[in-house]
A and B are shown apart, each in its own frame.
Chain A
Amino acid sequence: MKNPYMPYPVRIDDIQIATEDRSLKTFKFVFLNKEDEEKFSYHAGQFAELSIPGKGEIPIGIASSPTEKGFVKFTVFKTGVVTSYLHDMKAGDIMGIRGPLGNWYPWEMLEKGKNIVIIGGGFAFTTLRSSIIYMLDPANRSKFGNIDVIYGSRSPGMLLYQNELFEWEKRDDINMNITVDGTDDPDWKYNVGFVPTIVEEKAPKADPDTYAIICGPPIMIKFTQPVLEKLGYRDDQIIMSLENRMKCGIGMCGRCNIGKELVCRDGPVFTLEQLNMTPKEY
């Protein structure tokens, strides 16, 4: 068995500023050894440890989709030691990626024609982007029913992946509801309002074949849950991804637990039904 602490060496291929306040950047990595790309085969919803020798490692959701080949992408918010250092790195720099880690959205079940409602807020849209790209791939689209997306941020300039969002808006096989908390842009064509409000107005009513995937700040999740309940969603139809503090990412260092579950290994994806059976330590 290979050393699970050993990162694959990667080169930063490209860095894009993702939001107008420059607090988020999207990093595109290519593997130094081609075979490592195959070993890193992943599912939408998994995460990885970005490893900067001498600085440390950070768990980050994989923003690229398994259908995108030749690179992996992550979108990182600048907040502390490692993320700040990463924000100052340049294309061409060498670092490491360890993973893929954790479980993923339950694709095996969802691919049996389920309707999907994606609900995202702020910068917790990374693995949701991965999921949307994955589902919209021509090889996969027919495996799903309707796809609805409700995604909101503070202001238009804080939306991640803006070009893609507006492309998806134009398609008829995905139903986009982009929203912002507020804007003074007179040309803003989309919604204004908090995510839970837009969910209440625009999300499809519950149905045995409809599943909601939610990622966002705790406050958004807190107010979205009752709305989904009101719409009739059962707890096992509400799928969430947790972000506890992590180090090892492989279930050994002990810090990310909620009760007997380890978020890095048994999660990060849980249904609300599963979370109801664990202590609320997230």
Chain B
Amino acid sequence: MKVIKIDKQNWTGGIDKSRENYQIFGPVKDKEHFVFKKLNLKEYPDMENALSVLSPKSILFPQSEKILAASLDESQDDHHIMKRVATDYSPRAVIGIMPCDAKAVQLVKLNFDTDDYRDPYWCDAYEATTFVGLAVNKPSIYDFTLSMGSGPFAEEGLDVLLVDCKDHFLAKVLSEKGDAFLKASGFTSEADADKSAKLINEIKNQAEKAIDAEKVKTEKLKEKSLLELHGASFWEDLSFSCINCGTCTFVCPTCWCFDIQDETKGKKAVRFRNWDSCMSPLFTLHASSHNPRAEKVQRVRQRFMHKLKYFVDKYDQGTMCVGCGRCVVHCPVNIDIREICNTMNSYEAEQA
């Protein structure tokens, strides 16, 4: 494994150099919160491991995205014929993404890149992106990534893993894309492989110790009966305080559901895709006014069953939650997926 040493005094210079070939995205402080955004010249990613309010999913899956457009002007030959909207898919790098958020991208990929259909907007953005992760040296109390198939130093989905070693970063090169990015940034000084592996391991062990991996259990989710879990009586209690605000779905790195809406302006029609939320009753409302998930309890159950059972059964690749903790932090009524996961994992069907 190739490891590159980056002295922190060279960091911003390297980022600037990489801008010749890449658009740079990263976390920055916006008032008191952290957000992921496209960085302008002289803006640099904040490498403090702060948990951004929204996950970086919008870099591949914008909250609102033009997908098609058509002219409604009947004097045009191609009026009412929809065309793909031009979007900039030149190379981009996301710097400072947390390992669990990078894993989340891999889970979302299962949805957008399938054998039958390829979502060209998400996939083209994905292919254009280099993921430069920052290992989490000091996990927060909300971090339960180790229970969800990820971890503070997990490498899945990353092209480079940066490890903060006080006055320098050690950069583990995990793919060709990662190698190319480091070269384009002028970060080329190789560290001693054995020594750096040892150092990284020490920091990693320290970080992992800060998380209680036993606190959230998932190992029995797969063997549970889907219909029994769906019919369990605990959903009434668990959903009672939910106000269906949708916050949990918007902040989540793996929530991929979307709506499609058209707009017209003058003689131009545009088709958008927008984030949507299963917590909204409109999500499933039929034109006949029938609604299969009309009740709050059905919608709350949908969110957790999707993440912790339907996804588990459908893909056999673990849960559709990476344990970032965002929904736990931001839910206004303290609904906690960690508790719900444990409840589901330990559920025994009620005796008839």
Contact = CB atoms under 8 A, between A and B. Distances in A.
Interface in A228-282: 243-245, 247-248, 250-260, 265, 277-282
A contact patch SS: loop
Nearest to B290: A218
B12 to A, nearest CB: 39
Nearest to A253: B258
6 nearest CB pairs, A to B: A54-B269, A254-B257, A260-B310, A54-B264, A94-B80, A53-B269
Nearest to B226: A259
Interface string B285-312: 1111010110000100010011001110
Nearest to B114: A251
A13 B328 CA distance: 55
B118 A4 contact: yes
A110 B314 CA distance: 28
A120 interface: no
Given A6-B68, A57-B260, A247-B258, A51 B116 contact: no
Given A248-B260, A265-B116, A53 B284 contact: no
Interface of B: 67-68, 70, 72, 79-82, 84, 111-112, 114, 116-120, 226-227, 230, 256-264, 269, 271, 276, 278, 283-288, 290, 292-293, 298, 302, 305-306, 309-311, 313-314
A223 interface: no
B72 A54 contact: yes
Given A80-B287, A96-B82, A279-B226, 20 more contacts: A1-B117, A3-B120, A54-B72, A54-B269, A57-B260, A57-B262, A79-B287, A79-B288, A96-B80, A218-B290, A244-B286, A245-B286, A245-B287, A251-B114, A253-B259, A257-B302, A259-B226, A260-B311, A260-B314, A281-B292
Given A218-B290, A255-B257, A255-B278, A4 B117 contact: yes
Contacts of B285: 245
Contact of B258 (A32, A52, A254): A254
Interface string A45-80: 000000111111100000000000000000000011
B259 A3 contact: no
A257 B119 contact: no
Interface in A26-56: 32, 51-56
Interface of B is mostly: mixed
B279 to A, nearest CB: 12
Given A6-B84, A79-B288, A247 B118 contact: no
A83 B68 CA distance: 20
A56 B283 CA distance: 16
B111 A252 contact: yes
A5 interface: yes
A156 interface: no
B256 A252 contact: yes
Nearest to B263: A54
Interface in A83-114: 83, 93-96
Contact of A255 (B72, B227, B276): B276
A145 interface: no
Contacts of B67: 5
A141 B18 CA distance: 67
Contacts of A281: 284, 292-293, 298, 302
B118 A1 contact: yes
A7 interface: yes
A9 interface: yes
